A and B are shown apart, each in its own frame.
Chain A
Amino acid sequence: KQEVTQIPAALSVPEGENLVLNCSFTDSAIYNLQWFRQDPGKGLTSLLLIQSSQREQTSGRLNASLDKSSGRSTLYIAASQPGDSATYLCAADNAGNMLTFGGGTRLMVKP
């Protein structure tokens, strides 16, 4: 059974700082790993999807990496902004139809 863990659970940084969010998973037989953003009281917004054959994906100031052998993924946010404040969730897709989510990292970027 897949288990996904995210560290840290909460993070507070000053504006402009580069930061890394960590995600680990126990079963490396994944189809893909997906990073989401969730704002309070809102739905999930897909940020990046890394297929199992890929090592990383980039979108603007976001870069996600995947190391299947070690069961790890990281989300790198460059030059953080207050608008980046949200909860970031990673999810592993094993069965091809179902995502297993981590508990999330609650990020606060202070002006």
Chain B
Amino acid sequence: DTAVSQTPKYLVTQMGNDKSIKCEQNLGHDTMYWYKQDSKKFLKIMFSYNNKELIINETVPNRFSPKSPDKAHLNLHINSLELGDSAVYFCASSSEGGNGAEAFFGQGTRLTVV
């Protein structure tokens, strides 16, 4: 039974399009995150979302917007996709956000912008 699941696993789209990546966790966690892994394999935090409080990494363009319909879901919407957005995007969750709890990651979504 998958703890943190993302869909789709692969996404190929053209520049300028708008796309969404969905994330769901069944761990009962109250904090969810989005991370980006670039072509050099560096993982960087994009957002964390805890009880309707959104913490944004200031380096993330405002074309990226997380949306959380409920505590178990955190979707990532990307507008006007650019070539540089190509990367693997990971969703994660943890309990007790802010208290250093263990983070669990999804399998990633490989986004390719052509």
Given A95-B98, A97-B33, A97-B50, 4 further pairs, Cβ under 8 A:
A46-B102, A99-B35, A99-B45, A103-B40
The 4 A-B residue pairs with the shortest CB-CB distance, nearest first, are A31-B100, A96-B98, A43-B107, A44-B105
- Inter-chain contact A98/B33, CB cutoff 8 Å: yes
- Inter-chain contact B100/A44, CB cutoff 8 Å: no
Contacts of A43 in B (CB 8 A): 90, 105-108
A-B contact pairs, 13 of them (CB 8 A): A32-B102, A34-B102, A42-B108, A44-B105, A45-B105, A46-B104, A93-B100, A95-B55, A96-B97, A96-B100, A97-B33, A99-B35, A103-B41
Q: From DSSP, what is the main secondary structure of chain A's interface residues?
A: strand
Chain B contact residues, CB within 8 Å of chain A:
31, 33, 35, 40-45, 48, 50, 55, 57, 90, 92, 97-100, 102-108
In the assembled complex, the Cα of A89 lies from the Cα of B33 at a distance in Å of 17
In the assembled complex, the Cα of A93 lies from the Cα of B94 at a distance in Å of 12
CB proximity of A3 to chain B, nearest CB, Å: 12
- Inter-chain contact A42/B107, CB cutoff 8 Å: yes
Q: How many A-B residue pairs have CB under 8 A?
A: 63
- Inter-chain contact A98/B106, CB cutoff 8 Å: no
Interface size class of A (residues with CB under 8 A): 20 to 34
> In this complex, what residue of B is CB-closest to A30?
B100
> In this complex, what residue of A is CB-closest to B91?
A43
Q: Judge whether A76 is part of the interface by a CB distance below 8 angstroms.
A: no
CB proximity of B15 to chain A, nearest CB, Å: 24
Quick one: given A87-B41, A89-B43, are A97 and B98 in contact (CB under 8 Å)?
yes
Contacts of A98 in B (CB 8 A): 33, 45, 48, 55, 57
Residue of B41, B42, B92, B103 most packed against chain A (CB within 10 A): B103
In the assembled complex, the Cα of A30 lies from the Cα of B99 at a distance in Å of 10
Q: Judge whether A28 is part of the interface by a CB distance below 8 angstroms.
A: no
Contacts of B100 in A (CB 8 A): 30-32, 51-52, 93, 96
Contacts of A91 in B (CB 8 A): 43, 103
